[in-house]
Amino acid sequence: MSTPTSLTSPTGYAGGLEIPGWELFYKGKVRDLYRYPGDEQHMLMVATDRLSAFDVVMSQCVPDRGKVLTHITEYWCAKVEDRVKSARVTCTPEEVPHLPAEVHNALRGRMTWTRNADRVNVEIVLRAYLAGSGWREYQATGALWEYSLPNGLKNSSELPEVLLTPTTKAEKDEPITWEQATKIIGDSQYAETIRTLSHDIFDMAQERAAEKGVILADTKFEFGLMDGEMVLIDEVMTPDSSRYWPADGVVAGEEPPSWDKEIVRAYLRSLSDWNRQAPGPAIPEDIIQKTRDKYLEICQILTGSLPSGVVV
C-alpha cells in the first residue's frame, strides 16, 4: 500500500494511492479516478505526475506536473464560468465529504471533486496554427479534415481562420467531420452550442495569452451534460491539451519552442532502439528537469502564480 508521505518525494506522485473507504475505479495515463460507495453523483479526479508520450506511460514522473495541470485548469475554469460552467465542485481536500484527513496533504493541489456528467463522446479540437497531426494531414492531403487550405503553408504557419477539427473520444482518437461529430453528439442544438462555446472560449483565451506574450496555437475541449446543461469536463487548456508557444519564437517552417512535454518527445524520437511500445525507455534526469521547468514556467506566465507548496 502506498503511503501519503511517499507520494510527496522529489521523484513525483505516481498515483495509485489507497484511500480508505474509497474505490480507485479508473487509472488513465495521467489521472486516477475514485468514487465513494453510495455517491453516484460525484467522483474524485486526481492528476498524477505520470508522464506519457506516444500513448506509452513512462516509468518516471515529472514532479508537480499534476499540480500544474490542476492549477491551470482551475484558472481557466474561473475565466470562462460566465460563458460555460464546469463540472468541478472543489479542489480543496477538506471540502470533500468522507475524504480521510490522512490523505489530504498527498492530494492537495492535484485533486478535483467533480460532479458526474454524461460525457459527449467527441473531442473538440480547435486549431489556429498548423502543427502536429494537423501539419502531417496538410502535408499528405493539402487540406485539414474537410477544410481546403491555401498552397504553400508550412509547419507552424498561422491558419486563415480558427478551424474546428473534432475527433472521436477513444483509446486512439480518429479525425471526423463536424457532420459526423454532430451525429455522435446526437442533438443538433447541443452540437451548435458546443461549437459556439468552443470558439468563444478559444478566442478569449487567445487574447489573454497574447497579452502575456504567448500564442495559444491549438487546444481541445471535452464537454458533458448535467441536467440538460452543457458543462466543461476534464482538463481545460493545460499544456497537455494545448500548444503554447512564445509569440516572439515562432518561425513558419520551423518547430516552435513550446511549453509542454515536447522535450521528452524529441528525446524519444532520437532513439533508434525503441519501437514506441511499452515499456518506455528511461528518460535522462536533465530531460525530466527541463520538462518540469517548462510546465512551471507556463503556469506562472498564464496564471501569475504557482500551485501552493510548489518550489521552483
Q: Which of 218, 169, 223 has the alpha carbon at shortest distance from 193? A: 223
Cell numbers for 110, please give them. 492535484
Instruction: Show pLDDT as tens, one digit a residue, over the chain (312 residues).
Output: 333 333 445 789 999 999 999 999 999 999 999 999 999 999 999 999 999 999 899 999 999 999 999 999 999 999 999 999 999 999 999 999 999 999 999 999 999 999 999 999 999 999 999 999 999 999 999 999 999 999 999 999 999 999 999 999 876 678 999 999 999 999 999 999 999 999 999 999 999 999 999 999 999 999 999 998 999 999 999 999 999 999 999 999 998 999 999 999 999 999 999 999 999 999 999 999 999 999 999 999 999 999 988 988
Cα atoms found within 13 Å of the Cα of residue 109, Cβ hemisphere only: 18
Q: Residue 311: its pLDDT value, please? A: 85
Q: Which of 34, 30, 56 has the alpha carbon at shortest distance from 45? A: 34
- Ordered structural domains, the chain, with CATH: 4-116 (3.30.200.20), 119-260 (3.30.470.20)
- Residue 131 Cα distances to 217, 240, 244, 285, angstroms: 8, 15, 11, 27
How does DSSP classify residue 157?
P
- Residue 226 Cα distances to 42, 87, 229, angstroms: 12, 8, 5
Q: Residue 6: its pLDDT value, please? A: 33
Q: Which of 93, 88, 46, 79 has the alpha carbon at shortest distance from 65? A: 46
Q: Residue 179: its pLDDT value, please? A: 95
Alpha-carbon gap, residue 252 to 263, rounded angstroms: 20
Q: Which of 234, 236, 283, 240 has the alpha carbon at shortest distance from 259? A: 240
Q: Residue 171: its pLDDT value, please? A: 66
Q: Residue 75: its pLDDT value, please? A: 98
- Considering the entire predicted model, what is its pTM? 0.94
- Residue 241 Cα distances to 22, 100, 191, 210, angstroms: 28, 31, 21, 18
Q: Which of 28, 108, 65, 1 has the alpha carbon at shortest distance from 99? A: 108
Q: Residue 293: its pLDDT value, please? A: 96
Residue 180 CB neighbours (<10 A): 15
Task: Write out pLDDT tens, residues 136-190.
Answer: 999 999 999 999 999 999 999 999 999 999 999 876 678 999 999 999 999 999 9
Q: Residue 73: its pLDDT value, please? A: 98
Q: Residue 173: its pLDDT value, please? A: 78
What is the DSSP track for 112-125? Answer: EEEE--EE-SEEEE
Q: Residue 7: its pLDDT value, please? A: 41
Contacts of 295 (CB under 8 A, 6+ apart): 62, 64, 65, 68, 239, 259, 260
Cα atoms found within 13 Å of the Cα of residue 108, Cβ hemisphere only: 15
Q: Which of 244, 220, 242, 217 has the alpha carbon at shortest distance from 233? A: 220
How does DSSP classify residue 10?
T
Percent of the chain whose pLDDT exceeds 70: 96
